[in-house]
A and B are shown apart, each in its own frame.
Chain A
Amino acid sequence: MGQYNNLMNNKITVEVDADLEDLIPGYLRNKQNEIERMTAALAAGDFSAIALTAHGLKGNGAAYGFVPLSELGAALEKAAGSQDGESIGQLLDGMQAYLQRIEIVYIEC
C-alpha cells in the first residue's frame, strides 16, 4: 500500500486495502474528531489527553494505509511529552491538511 503526490490536482493518492473499504469513512470521521479533541485539549493545556490520543493515532494510522498519520501521531505524542504547545499546533494543522488532501484508491490485497 503506498501513497503518492498527484501533481495534477495537489492531492495525495493513498492506496488502501479493499477489505477495509467500508471501515474508512468511519475511520476518517474518528480522525477528524481526534483533531478537534486534541485542539480543545491544547487550549486547556491538557497535554496528557493529547498524548493519549496521539498514541492511538500512532498505532492505527499505518495499519489502515495512512503512514503519515502514524508519523504525526508519534510526533504529537513526543511533543505532548515535552509540553511543546507550538509544535502540537503545527502538527495538528498538518494533520488537518493531510486529511483534506487525501484521495483514496482501493486495492485488492
Chain B
Amino acid sequence: MNETGFTLTQLYKSAAALSDNQESRLLVIDDDADLRALLLRKFRAEGFHVDEASSVQMATERLYEAAYDLIILDLMMLPESGYVLFDFLKSDPKFKWIPLIVLSGHQDLDEKVKCLELGADDYVTKPFQFRELKARVGRMMTRAREYEHIAFRDALTGVYNRRYFDSYVAVELQKIQRSPAPSTLVLLDIDRFKAVNDTYGHPIGDLVLQGMAHLLKENVRQSDFVARFGGEEFAIMLGGATEEEAKRMMNELLGKVRDHVMAHVGDQQIRITFSAGLAAWEPGVSRSEWISRADQMLYAAKQAGRNQCAGWSERSSGTEPGPGVGLGLGEAGAPHRLPLVLVVDESKMMHAILTAKLAELSLQAVSVTQGEAAIAFVQEHEVDLCILDAAVANLRSLSKKKDIKIFAITDHAQEKERLAAGFAADERMAKPFSLVELEMRLKKLMFVENG
C-alpha cells in the first residue's frame, strides 16, 4: 500500500479503465466445454477480451495473472463447486468489487436469493440465450463505468476530480521513479474568475469552467491527465513532457483560450485568460514538493501580471521560493517570514482541523479560544490573517485593524448577526464546510490579490 491507501494494481487498473479506448476483460468460468466455446466466441465477436477457466483451480490462477472487469461464474461445477470460488471472490479485497454474474442450471428460488444476498450482481439460469447474457453484461459494464465516473470525475466539467488526481500523481510518481522519464505537472488558474462570477453570475461562471475544461481536453494528448483541482484551478499531468515542451503546449493553449469566447451575455463576449505554474519532476522530489513547486510558479505567474505561464526551471534566483512564498512581502530585499495566522474558536476540533490545514500550506498558526486573548495577541504580534468563529464574543475591535485579514467561519444564524453588527470580513465561509473549500479560500486570501 502506498500513501494514498490504494494498491498499485487498483490504481493502474482504474487509471486504465477510465481511458475510453480500453478493452473490457471478461473471465468465463464453467466446466462445460461447449458452453465455454460459445461464450468465448460470442463475447470476443462483441469486442471483449475473454479468458476462460474450466475449474475453480484454473480460475484462481487466472485471477492472479490479470485484472478482470467482469466475471461469469457457473455455480454447478466439478470437482470443486462454483460456490467455493464465489466465497473466495467475495472475501478478497482484490476481487470483491469485480462485477459477478453467476450461472446456474437450477431454477431454485432460494438459491437465487442466496446468491444475490451474498453479492452476486446477477443470476442467470441455464438454459439461456446469449442475447440475454450479453445484455446483462453490457448493462453491468456501463454501470461500473458510471460509478467510476461519479467517484473520480468532477460533475460540472467531466474532467477528473481532485481525489482522483491525488491517486493519479502517486501512480505517475511510482512509474517515473522506476523508469525515469520527464513528466511535467501544470497548475492552472483562471484569471479574475471571482470577478466573472460577481459580475455575470454563477451560471456564466459555470460556462467558463466548462469551456476551459473542454479546451484543455481538446488540446492535450490522449495520455495527458486533466483534473479540476479547486474552484477555478485545474491540474494537468503531462507525462513524458519536459518543462520546455510543456511550456510550449501551455502557451499555445493560452493563445487559444484568449481568443475563445466562453459565453455571451447580451452583446458582450466573455473571454478569459489563465495563469499557470509548471514543474518538471526531478529525482528526489516528493509528491507534495512537486505539487508545491507548480503551485509556487502559479503564484509567480499571477504576481508577474497574470495571463502567462511560469516554469520552475526559470524561477529567478533573487526571490528563491521557500515555504510561504505566497505572502509576497512587498519590498525587494525584505526578509521573508512565515505568515502568521491567528485562529479564534472555542472548539478544539476546529482548532485541530484548521491548524492541520494551515501547516499544509506552510502557514504558522496560533490558537486562542477567547476574544480577549485574541485582542491581546494582535497587540503584541504581527498577525497576517485571523480565522475566527464569529460567535466568539468581543471580537469587534479586531475587525477594525486594517492590516489583518479576517476570515469568518459561521453558521447561518450567526451570519445575520455578524452582518448586523457591522463586522467586516474579507472572506467568510459557512459551516459545514469541506476541506477543499477551506483550502481554496485560504489560498485566495493569503496567496493572491484579487484572484
Contact = CB atoms under 8 A, between A and B. Distances in A.
Summarize A's interface: helix, strand, loop or mixed: helix
Interface string B74-87: 10101000000000
A33 to B, nearest CB: 11
B48 to A, nearest CB: 13
A30 interface: yes
A43 interface: no
B34 interface: yes
A59 B38 contact: no
Contacts of B129: 1, 62-63
Nearest to B133: A63
Interface in A1-53: 1, 17, 19-20, 23, 26-27, 30, 52
A60 interface: yes
Given A55-B76, A58-B105, A59-B127, A30 B45 contact: no
A67 B128 CA distance: 10
Most A CB atoms within 10 A — which of B34, B103, B128?
B34
Contact of B105 (A23, A30, A59, A64): A59
Contact of A58 (B38, B45, B127, B130): B127
B42 interface: yes
Nearest to A21: B41
B41 A20 contact: yes
A3 to B, nearest CB: 13
Given A30-B34, A55-B105, A56-B32, A70 B127 contact: yes
B127 A19 contact: no
A62 B32 CA distance: 14
A60 B35 contact: yes
Contacts of B127: 58-63, 67, 70, 73-74
B126 interface: yes
Most A CB atoms within 10 A — which of B76, B103, B127, B130?
B127
Contact of B38 (A1, A23, A55, A70): A23
A56 B45 contact: no
A20 to B, nearest CB: 6
A37 B127 CA distance: 21
A10 to B, nearest CB: 26
Interface in B77-113: 78, 103, 105
Contacts of A58: 105, 126-127
A4 to B, nearest CB: 17
B375 interface: no
Contacts of B126: 58-60, 70
Nearest to B42: A19
B436 interface: no
Contacts of B34: 27, 30, 56, 60, 64
Contact of A59 (B35, B78, B130): B35
A19 B41 contact: yes
A77 B127 CA distance: 13
Contacts of A23: 37-38, 41
B79 to A, nearest CB: 12
A63 B38 contact: yes
Contacts of B45: 19
Contacts of A63: 35, 38, 127-130
Interface in A79-107: none
B38 A64 contact: yes
Contact of A62 (B37, B41, B128): B128
A67 B33 CA distance: 18
Contacts of A27: 34, 37
Interface in B14-41: 32-35, 37-38, 41
Contacts of B33: 30
B47 to A, nearest CB: 13
Contact of B32 (A19, A59, A67, A70): A59
A13 B386 CA distance: 86
Contacts of B38: 20, 23, 60, 63-64
Contacts of A17: 42, 130
Contacts of A64: 34, 38
Interface of B: 32-35, 37-38, 41-42, 45, 74, 76, 78, 103, 105, 126-130
Per CB-CB distance, the 4 closest pairs between chain A and chain B, nearest first, are A62-B127, A59-B126, A70-B127, A60-B35
Given A56-B32, A63-B127, 8 more contacts: A19-B41, A30-B34, A56-B34, A59-B32, A60-B32, A67-B127, A70-B127, A73-B127
Interface of A: 1, 17, 19-20, 23, 26-27, 30, 52, 55-56, 58-64, 67, 70, 73-74, 77
25 contacts: A1-B129, A19-B41, A23-B37, A23-B38, A26-B37, A30-B33, A30-B34, A55-B105, A58-B105, A58-B126, A59-B32, A59-B35, A59-B126, A60-B34, A60-B38, A60-B127, A62-B127, A62-B128, A63-B128, A63-B129, A64-B34, A64-B38, A70-B127, A73-B127, A74-B127
